Amino acid sequence: MKEAVPEKEEVPKKVVKPEKKKRKERGATYMLTVIQKKIHGSRSTVAVNIRGQLIGPTVVELQSYVGILAHQSVPITIATWNKVPNELKNKIWEQILVVFDVDPIAKKRVMSSTTAKWKQFKSRLSTRHIIPFKNNLEMLRKPPSIYNFITQKEWEGFVVLRLSAKYLKMRKNATAWIRLKKSNHHLSRRGYMNKELDIQAESGITDEIERHEMQKIAHTKKNGEFENEVVREIDDLTKKRKEGAVTFSGAEDVLTVAISLEHPGHV
Q: DSSP of 131-148, one letter per residue?
A: GGGTT-GGGGSS--TT-T
Provide the residue-wise pLDDT of the chain in tens; the chain has 267 residues.
Answer: 655 655 555 544 544 444 444 444 344 445 566 666 666 777 889 998 877 788 888 898 899 899 999 999 999 999 999 999 999 999 999 999 999 999 999 999 999 999 999 999 999 999 999 999 999 999 999 999 999 999 999 999 999 999 999 888 888 767 654 554 445 666 666 666 677 777 777 777 767 778 888 888 887 888 888 877 888 888 999 999 888 888 887 667 888 888 777 554 443
Tell me what pLDDT residue 262 has. Answer: 55
The confidence score (pLDDT) of residue 209 equals 78
Would you tell me how many other CB atoms lie within 10 Å of the CB of residue 73? Answer: 20
Q: What gap in Å lies between CA 108 and CA 171, rounded to an integer?
A: 28
Q: What is the pLDDT of residue 7?
A: 58
The CA distance from 195 to 201, in Å, is 10
Identify the pLDDT of residue 3: 56
Catalogue the long-range contacts made by 233-240 (C-beta closer than 8 Å, 24 or more residues apart).
233/257, 233/258, 233/259, 233/261, 233/262, 234/258, 237/212, 238/212, 238/213
pTM over 0.85: no
Which amino acid makes up residue 68?
I
How far is 124 from 142, CA to CA, in rounded Å? 16
Return the pLDDT at 189: 61
- Provide the pLDDT for residue 49: 84
Phi, psi of 74 (to 5 degrees): -110, 120
Helical ranges in 41-106 per DSSP H: 59-73, 86-99
Q: Distance (Å, rounded) from C-alpha 239 to C-alpha 236?
A: 5
| DSSP state letters, 211-265 | HHHHHHHHTB-TTS-BSSHHHHHHHHHHHHHHHTS----TT--HHHHHHHHHSTT
Q: How far is CA 236 from the centre of its chain?
A: 30
The whole-number pLDDT of residue 94 equals 94
d(CA 170, CA 162): 10
From residue 89, give the alpha-carbon distance in Å to each of 80, 125, 127, 228. 13, 22, 26, 38
Q: Which H or E run includes 53?
A: none
